[in-house]
């Protein structure tokens, strides 16, 4: 079996879902003829035609608004933000219109909003964002951040079949850098379930998206020093799989959260609150965080490297925590 | 201009306009009794627009009313009790107390989309429904309303521009009631006619006297058929006047008294009653019967609303997600075989009509879909229909 990249996994998920269900359509800037800025939708127009693969004006609010309308009419639209930074332009439509719709008047919005997020590719302040926490703070949305090709495909399929607005953050650093063999069958990965990527006894490292790989790299390094880290991949940030995190912390008694999102208001703070509320007695040390700095994402490679978490920073924090 | 409406239809228009007004007067009484939980946004003087526009639609069409479009909700089959229980936050309301005012709808049978408070959002949403309807072969038209103030939002521009390039079967009614809260239209826009905004998007637009229900209905009917035939969206500017404050709390001291006096002479209900009398479409007895029917409906619904419980507090936690409580089903009006299984027939290249930067007029909703009808000859430029203002 050939290996499939994270990017190709996303393309396959859209392709297969559109093949399966004529209610699935794709809408966004340059998604059709051009096949998407990253070529995630290459070949979709040729297969599914102009009615189902819709190129739009540069109007992020209108893209999301139209997708909401299509949802109301019984379709299952996938709306693309060319870079996830531009989701800010559609913030209103997502948070006020889509997120509250089912709660307010029982009208589900089965829409997926997907796009490339994350840094490490020298995209600068407007092509590198990790805006997931704006939306984790919005009841009614689901927020998914896959870290592997298998999850990218399986979670995107679940997102398309979900009756709620799902924000699907694709880490662009992973697009072509990771690949794996995927099952040939029509598999899905459930939204709201974390995965234990490495078992260990000495501390728990919770992470997601590109930082999962950084955390795994750090865990391998720590293992050489005799420190066994358990690494959890959140996969979904909203709804958060509290049980998997709690079970791991109850076992290791120490928690380090690693995310590429900036520090203040990142998911680490929420996880720390959950653990202190529900597993305080199980803790043998302070909850630690390794995150990006509280700044915009800088452009120059040296600045960005300084800004981002790295395996070295995770290893250092883990060592300190284990010694505590 | 003569209306093609029957006598019964004339009387029905009167019924809905009068019901709209009487219902709102009843709600003012409820407000003064502290029974309205939140705000109350009057549509006094604008009833002809809500009723006349909604009346011009077919049963399969979709609407998204704004805050002052109680009349449109009534035309669409909602009852005074729905409006009252919403405002009174009762468990029996369409949203079971989750939201108030006109913020409710009905996806499945009445095809009414609940508005939200942010202005302009409904334009791209209704464009999306129009596009979905076209894809599903439904031949529907979608409609929403916006005020003069709402035309200043970015969402208005993004939505209407997108509807235009998609040639979506969509009608936008701009209710120019001359006041956005306390701000007059001249501080919203440098245009004399907000209908000219339509020109900027290359779509058809019209101006109509918003206090003449027959003109509103006729203009809307034309717009709806233009949109339904695949000629793209239409913007209708209905000129009117907000006769009360922005909401019940607002005494609107900023509105010149003489302006209100002048517009009082053009009250849409008074004018329509005069037409019905002149055209001999009714007599005092008919009017009395309709008015009595309305009074008894409102009386019964006030009683229903007042006797309705508030929602159990713990229901606040319910309904954030759809967890299998709804099924998502598209109403396919074209054979699914037209799209399934998908055919690999499209070449990924734009079939452009012109290479000139300013020569290309969009003529189709993207290059024509397989099996769709030939695209009608497009309007050369924005056509302006001026309905006769006043009588």
Model pLDDT for residues A180-232, shown as the tens digit of each residue: 999 999 999 999 999 999 999 999 999 999 999 999 999 999 999 999 999 99
Whether B70 is covered by a domain: the verdict is: yes
Model pTM score? 0.94
Query: How confident is residue B23, by pLDDT bands cut at 50, 70 and 90?
Result: very high
The total of other beta-carbon atoms located within 10 Å of residue A228's CB is 16
Q: Which residues of B touch A77 (CB under 8 A)?
A: 128
Interchain CB distance below 8 Å, A55 and B366: yes
Interchain CB distance below 8 Å, A65 and B124: yes
Whether B357 is covered by a domain: the verdict is: no
d(CA B328, CA A77): 12
d(CA B115, CA B122): 7
Residue to mutate among B78, B130, B158, with most A CBs inside 10 A, is B158
What would the mean pLDDT of A83-111 be, rounded to a whole number? 98
What would the mean pLDDT of A239-246 be, rounded to a whole number? 98
Topology alike, domains A4-180 and A195-323:
yes
**Alpha-carbon distance B347 to nearest alpha carbon in chain A (angstroms):** 6
User: Please, which residues bridge with residue B365 across strands?
Assistant: none
Task: Please report the residues numbered 248 through 307 in chain A whose beta carbons come closer than 8 angstroms to any beta carbon of chain B.
Answer: none
* A-chain residue closest to B327, CA distance: A163
Extract the tokens encoding A156. Answer: 């995107």
3.40.50.970, 3.10.20.30, 3.30.420.40, 3.40.50.740: CATH of A4-180:
3.40.50.970
A102 catalytic? Reply is no
Query: How confident is residue B361, by pLDDT bands cut at 50, 70 and 90?
Result: low
Residue B359 pLDDT: 61
Interchain CB distance below 8 Å, A65 and B129: no
The string of pLDDT tens digits covering residues B162-221 is 999 999 999 999 999 999 999 999 999 999 999 999 999 999 999 999 999 999 999 999
Task: Please report the residues numbered 124 through 183 in chain A whose beta carbons come closer than 8 angstroms to any beta carbon of chain B.
Answer: 139-140, 142, 163-164
Put simply, whether A69 touches B (Cβ < 8 Å) is: yes
- Taking CA atoms, A300 is separated from A210, A214, A305, in Å, by 20, 21, 9
Residue A9 pLDDT: 98
Extract the tokens encoding A79. Answer: 């709306």
Residue to mutate among B95, B128, B330, with most A CBs inside 10 A, is B128
Interchain CB distance below 8 Å, A49 and B366: no
The string of pLDDT tens digits covering residues B310-347 is 999 999 999 999 999 999 999 999 999 999 999 767 88
Q: Is the pLDDT of residue B390 over 50?
A: no
Whether B372 is covered by a domain: the verdict is: no
Where are any strands of DSSP class E within chain B? 62-64, 142-147, 170-176, 179-180, 183-184, 204-209, 234-239, 384-386
Q: What percent of chain B has pLDDT above 90?
A: 86
d(CA A289, CA A302): 22
Residue B348 pLDDT: 86
Of the listed A127, A171, A213, A259, which one is catalytic? A127
Whether B40 is covered by a domain: the verdict is: yes
User: Please, which residues bridge with residue A115 across strands?
Assistant: A169
Q: Among A69, A60, A285, which residue's Cα sits nearest to residue B132?
A: A69
Whether B348 is covered by a domain: the verdict is: no
Residue to mutate among B62, B96, B119, B131, with most A CBs inside 10 A, is B131
**Alpha-carbon distance A106 to nearest alpha carbon in chain B (angstroms):** 7
Interchain CB distance below 8 Å, B319 and A73: no
**Alpha-carbon distance B77 to nearest alpha carbon in chain A (angstroms):** 17
* B-chain residue closest to A23, CA distance: B330
Residue B355 pLDDT: 83
Task: Please report the residues numbered 38 through 57 in chain A whose beta carbons come closer than 8 angstroms to any beta carbon of chain B.
Answer: 45-52, 54-57
Put simply, whether B118 touches A (Cβ < 8 Å) is: yes
Contact (CB, 8 A) for A148 and A113:
no
Put simply, whether B363 touches A (Cβ < 8 Å) is: no
Put simply, whether A220 touches B (Cβ < 8 Å) is: no
What would the mean pLDDT of A8-36 be, rounded to a whole number? 98
Whether B381 is covered by a domain: the verdict is: no
Q: Among A66, A75, A74, which residue's Cα sits nearest to residue A97?
A: A66
**Alpha-carbon distance A202 to nearest alpha carbon in chain B (angstroms):** 37
Residue B381 pLDDT: 41
**Alpha-carbon distance A165 to nearest alpha carbon in chain B (angstroms):** 9
Q: What percent of chain A has pLDDT above 70?
A: 100
Q: Is the pLDDT of residue B385 over 90?
A: no
The residues near B74 (Cβ < 8 Å, ≥ 6 apart) are: B16, B19, B20, B23, B51, B80, B83
Residue B1 pLDDT: 47
Residue B353 pLDDT: 80
Question: What is the number of structural domains in chain B?
Answer: 1
Interchain CB distance below 8 Å, B124 and A96: no
Residue B380 pLDDT: 42
Residue B360 pLDDT: 53
**Alpha-carbon distance A64 to nearest alpha carbon in chain B (angstroms):** 8
- Taking CA atoms, A224 is separated from A135, A202, A218, A253, B113, in Å, by 38, 13, 10, 21, 60
What would the mean pLDDT of A75-79 be, rounded to a whole number? 98
Query: How confident is residue B372, by pLDDT bands cut at 50, 70 and 90?
Result: very low
Work out the mean pLDDT of chain B and round it to a whole number. 92
Where are chain A's structural domains?
4-180, 195-323
Interchain CB distance below 8 Å, B330 and A72: no
Whether B320 is covered by a domain: the verdict is: yes
Q: Among B265, B389, B293, B391, which residue's Cα sits nearest to residue B11?
A: B293
Interchain CB distance below 8 Å, B321 and A35: no
* A-chain residue closest to B134, CA distance: A51
What would the mean pLDDT of B365-374 be, rounded to a whole number? 48
The string of pLDDT tens digits covering residues B288-310 is 999 999 999 999 999 999 999 99
Q: Is the pLDDT of residue A124 over 50?
A: yes
Query: How confident is residue A307, by pLDDT bands cut at 50, 70 and 90?
Result: very high
Class level of CATH domain A195-323: alpha beta
Q: Is the pLDDT of residue B370 over 50?
A: no
d(CA A173, CA A170): 9
Query: How confident is residue B40, by pLDDT bands cut at 50, 70 and 90?
Result: very high
Residue that the structure tokens 């009683």 belong to: B303
CATH of the domain at B33: 3.40.50.970
Put simply, whether A15 touches B (Cβ < 8 Å) is: no
Residue that the structure tokens 């599903």 belong to: B136
Residue to mutate among A74, A75, A95, A192, with most B CBs inside 10 A, is A74
């Amino acid at each position: 079996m050939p290996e499939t990249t994270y990017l190709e996994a996303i393309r396959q998920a859209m392709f297969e879902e559109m093949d399966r269900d004529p209610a699935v359509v794709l809408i966004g800037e340059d998604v059709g003829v051009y096949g998407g800025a990253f070529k995630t939708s290459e070949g979709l127009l040729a297969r599914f035609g102009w009615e189902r693969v819709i190129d739009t004006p540069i109007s992020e609010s209108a893209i999301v608004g139209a997708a909401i309308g299509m949802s109301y009419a019984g379709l299952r639209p996938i709306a693309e933000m060319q870079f996830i930074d531009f989701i800010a332009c559609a913030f209103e439509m997502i948070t006020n219109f889509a997120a509250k719709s089912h709660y307010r008047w029982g009208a589900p919005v089965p829409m997926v909003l997907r796009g490339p997020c994350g840094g490490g590719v020298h995209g600068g302040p407007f092509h590198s964002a990790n805006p997931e926490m704006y939306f984790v703070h919005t009841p009614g949305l689901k927020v998914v951040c896959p870290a592997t090709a298998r999850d990218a495909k399986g979670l995107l399929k679940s997102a398309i079949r979900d009756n709620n607005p799902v924000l699907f953050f694709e880490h662009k650093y992973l697009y072509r850098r990771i690949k794996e063999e995927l099952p040939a069958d029509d598999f899905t990965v459930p939204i709201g379930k974390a995965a234990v990527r490495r078992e260990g006894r000495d501390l728990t490292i919770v992470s997601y998206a590109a930082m999962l790989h950084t955390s795994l790299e750090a865990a391998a390094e720590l293992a050489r020093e005799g420190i066994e880290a358990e690494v959890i991949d959140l996969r979904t940030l909203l709804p958060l799989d509290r049980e998997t995190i709690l079970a791991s912390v109850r076992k290791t008694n120490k928690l380090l959260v690693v995310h590429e999102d900036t520090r203040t208001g990142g998911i680490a703070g929420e996880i720390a609150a959950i653990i202190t509320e529900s597993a305080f007695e199980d803790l043998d040390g302070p909850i630690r965080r390794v995150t990006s700095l509280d700044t915009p994402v800088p452009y120059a490679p040296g600045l960005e490297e300084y800004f981002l978490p790295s395996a070295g920073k995770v290893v250092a924090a883990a060592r300190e925590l284990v010694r505590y | 201009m003569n209306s093609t409406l029957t006598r019964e239809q004339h009387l029905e228009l009167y019924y809905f306009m009068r019901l709209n007004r009487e219902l709102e007067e009843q709600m003012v009484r409820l407000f003064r009794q502290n029974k309205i939980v939140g705000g109350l946004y009057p549509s006094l003087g604008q009833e002809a627009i809500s009723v006349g526009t909604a009346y011009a639609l077919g049963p399969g069409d979709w609407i998204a009313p704004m805050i002052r479009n109680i009349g449109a909700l009534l035309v669409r089959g909602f009852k005074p009790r729905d409006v009252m229980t919403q405002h009174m936050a009762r468990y029996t309301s369409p949203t079971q107390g989750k939201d108030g005012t006109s913020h409710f709808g009905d996806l499945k049978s009445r095809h009414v989309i609940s508005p939200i408070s942010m202005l302009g959002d409904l334009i791209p949403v209704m464009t999306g429904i129009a596009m979905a309807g076209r894809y599903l072969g439904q031949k529907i038209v979608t409609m929403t309303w916006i005020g003069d103030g709402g035309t200043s939002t970015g969402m208005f521009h993004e939505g209407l521009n997108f509807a235009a390039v998609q040639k979506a079967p969509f009608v936008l009614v701009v209710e120019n009631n001359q006041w956005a809260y306390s701000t007059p239209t001249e501080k919203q826009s440098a245009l004399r006619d907000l209908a000219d905004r339509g020109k900027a998007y290359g779509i058809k637009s019209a101006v109509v006297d918003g206090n003449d229900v027959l003109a509103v209905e006729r203009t809307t009917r034309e717009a709806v058929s233009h949109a339904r035939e695949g000629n793209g969206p239409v913007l209708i500017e209905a000129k009117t006047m907000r006769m009360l404050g922005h909401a019940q709390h607002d005494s609107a001291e900023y509105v010149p008294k003489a302006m209100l006096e002048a517009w009082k002479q053009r009250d849409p209900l008074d004018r329509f009653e005069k037409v019905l009398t002149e055209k001999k479409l009714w007599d005092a007895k008919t009017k009395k019967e309709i008015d009595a029917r309305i009074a008894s409906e409102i009386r019964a619904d006030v009683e229903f609303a007042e006797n309705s419980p508030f929602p159990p507090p713990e229901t606040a936690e319910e309904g954030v997600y759809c967890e299998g409580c709804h099924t998502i089903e598209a109403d396919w009006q074209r054979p699914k075989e037209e799209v399934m299984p998908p055919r690999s027939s499209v070449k990924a290249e734009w079939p452009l009509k012109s290479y000139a930067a300013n020569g290309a007029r969009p003529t189709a909703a993207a290059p024509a879909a397989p099996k769709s009808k030939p695209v009608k000859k497009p309007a050369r430029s924005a056509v302006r229909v001026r309905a006769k203002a006043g009588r």
